[in-house]
């Protein structure tokens, strides 16, 4: 494949992800069930990022796994959200698993990260069994629609990788088991992830932020093994979020109609797909703009979503950095004491 084709590939994949988003949005407008369509749209948008990931030789594997896990996590989150400490405990387990899997495979880290996000978002909209079933089904439908529509482009995009023979599947499963046996370790990183998520949940619960789930989400995303890496990622996340909130709020504040908001939201999603492996701050700004514009489509004041997302992002980044900074300080202090002569 030429360099030109290789550089165009992310944008071709991004383009292939857009028909499902457009179809879901139009279906919501046509049926007059836009709030439900927006939940499904969130599932489809996230599942689309799986097209850019690789896990086994089957290109659609990340999309399949992340969609199924998001539906289950959304169901659990809707029920656990009725009891704050239950939600905190479940979120801590998801966060620790996410961190531990980072040492096994980047795609596995990304998949469980999306499960954690689905859990946290659903926990902010608690309800009974019916509510949980409803949200999980919508997330599943959105992801499946993205999967089916994108699958129509699969042969052209992936050429000879459009099928996975049974023998190849067995070989892939064996390789995955080997990776787990070799790389999976219960390191301190997982416990840090669980801690920062719980601390963020407590903070936004006390502050009463409606969109407070962005705090634990941000903390889990930016948390790295080393403090400096966490600080860099956190700063990029905050700057990107502020830029995205500002742009989205400006578009919505111009009294843009539903059509313009829809076009802006889809355009922002398209650019986010295409730029995900580029500058992280720029990528985050388009993710944020997509989220705020989508909220505006549902009728919620965009300024509220933008302001609370920015505040929650700052809380999440500051918490992740602080936890690792304290750990580093304690570690250095104990190390210096251990080197002192008796």
Which DSSP string corresponds to 250-303?
HHHHTT--HHHHHHHHHHHHHHHHHHTTS-HHHHHHHHHHHHHHHHHHTTS-HH
Spatial contact of 288 and 305, defined as CB atoms under 8 Å apart? no
- Domain count of the fold of the chain: 2
Please state, in angstroms and rounded to a whole number, the distance separating the CA atoms of residues 83 and 126. 9
Q: Do 182 and 249 belong to one domain?
A: no
Confidence of residue 158 (pLDDT cuts 50, 70, 90): low
Is pLDDT at 334 greater than 60 in this prediction? no
Q: What is the pLDDT of residue 225?
A: 76
pTM beyond 0.95: the answer is: no
Sequence-distant (≥ 6) Cβ neighbours of residue 191 within 8 angstroms? 96
Are 169 and 272 contained in the same domain?
no
First to last CA, the chain: 65
Give the list of residues 6+ apart from residue 247 with CB closer than 8 angstroms, or none. 285, 289
Q: Which one of 186, 209, 226 terminates a domain?
A: 186
d(Cα 179, Cα 47) in Å, to the nearest integer?
Answer: 24
Choice between 308 and 38, residue whose per-residue pLDDT is larger: 38
- The angle subtended at Cα 272 by Cα 64 and Cα 155, nearest 5°, is 45
Residues 74 and 212 in one domain: no
Q: In terms of pLDDT, which residue wins out, 191 or 138?
A: 138
Query: What is the residue range of 99's domain?
Result: 1-186
Q: Which of 130, 156, 186 is the last residue of a domain?
A: 186
160 and 294 housed in the same domain: no
Q: How many other C-beta atoms lie within 10 A of the C-beta of residue 334? A: 10
Q: For residue 210, what pLDDT is reported?
A: 82
Give tens-digit pLDDT for 176-202. 666 665 555 657 788 888 999 999 999
251 and 115, same structural domain? no
Name the more confident of 129 and 329. 129
Residues whose CB falls within 8 Å of the CB of residue 5, separated by 6 or more in sequence, listed in order: none
Could you report the per-residue pLDDT of 26-70, keeping only the tens digit for each? 999 888 888 899 999 999 999 999 988 887 767 788 899 999 999
Measured CA to CA, the distance from residue 287 to residue 40 in angstroms comes to 17
CA distance 61 to 67: 10
Of 140, 163, 186, the residue at which a domain comes to its end is: 186
Determine what percent of the chain is predicted with pLDDT higher than 70: 82
109 and 248 in a single domain? The answer is no
């Amino acid at each position: 494949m030429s360099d030109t084709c290789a550089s165009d590939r992310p944008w071709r994949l991004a383009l292939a992800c857009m028909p499902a988003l457009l179809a879901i949005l139009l279906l919501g407008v046509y049926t007059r069930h836009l709030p439900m369509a927006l939940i499904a749209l969130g599932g489809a948008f996230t599942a689309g990022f799986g097209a850019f990931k690789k896990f086994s030789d089957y290109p659609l594997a990340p999309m399949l796994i992340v969609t199924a896990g998001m539906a289950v996590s959304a169901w659990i989150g809707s029920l656990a959200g009725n009891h704050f400490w239950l939600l905190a405990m479940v979120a801590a387990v998801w966060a620790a698993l996410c961190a531990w899997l980072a040492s096994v495979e980047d795609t596995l880290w990304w998949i469980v990260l999306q499960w954690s996000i689905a859990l946290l978002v659903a926990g902010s909209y608690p309800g009974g069994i019916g509510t949980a079933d409803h949200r999980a089904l919508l997330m599943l439908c959105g992801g499946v629609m993205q999967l089916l529509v994108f699958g129509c482009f699969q042969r052209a995009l992936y050429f000879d990788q459009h099928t996975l023979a049974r023998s190849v599947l067995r070989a892939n499963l064996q390789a995955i088991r080997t990776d787990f046996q070799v790389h999976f370790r219960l390191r301190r990183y997982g416990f840090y992830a669980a801690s920062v998520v719980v601390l963020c949940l407590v903070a936004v619960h006390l502050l009463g932020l409606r969109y407070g789930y962005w705090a634990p989400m941000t903390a889990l995303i930016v948390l790295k093994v080393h403090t400096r890496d966490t600080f860099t990622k956190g700063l990029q996340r905050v700057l990107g979020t502020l830029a995205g909130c500002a742009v989205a709020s400006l578009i919505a504040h111009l009294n843009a109609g539903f059509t313009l908001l829809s076009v802006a939201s889809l355009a922002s999603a398209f650019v986010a797909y295409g730029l995900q492996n580029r500058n992280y701050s720029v990528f985050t700004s388009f993710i944020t703009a997509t989220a705020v514009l989508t909220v505006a489509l549902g009728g919620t004041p965009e300024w509220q979503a933008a302001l609370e997302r920015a505040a929650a992002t700052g809380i999440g980044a500051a918490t992740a950095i602080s936890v690792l900074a304290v750990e580093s300080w304690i570690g250095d202090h104990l190390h210096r004491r251990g080197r002192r002569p008796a």
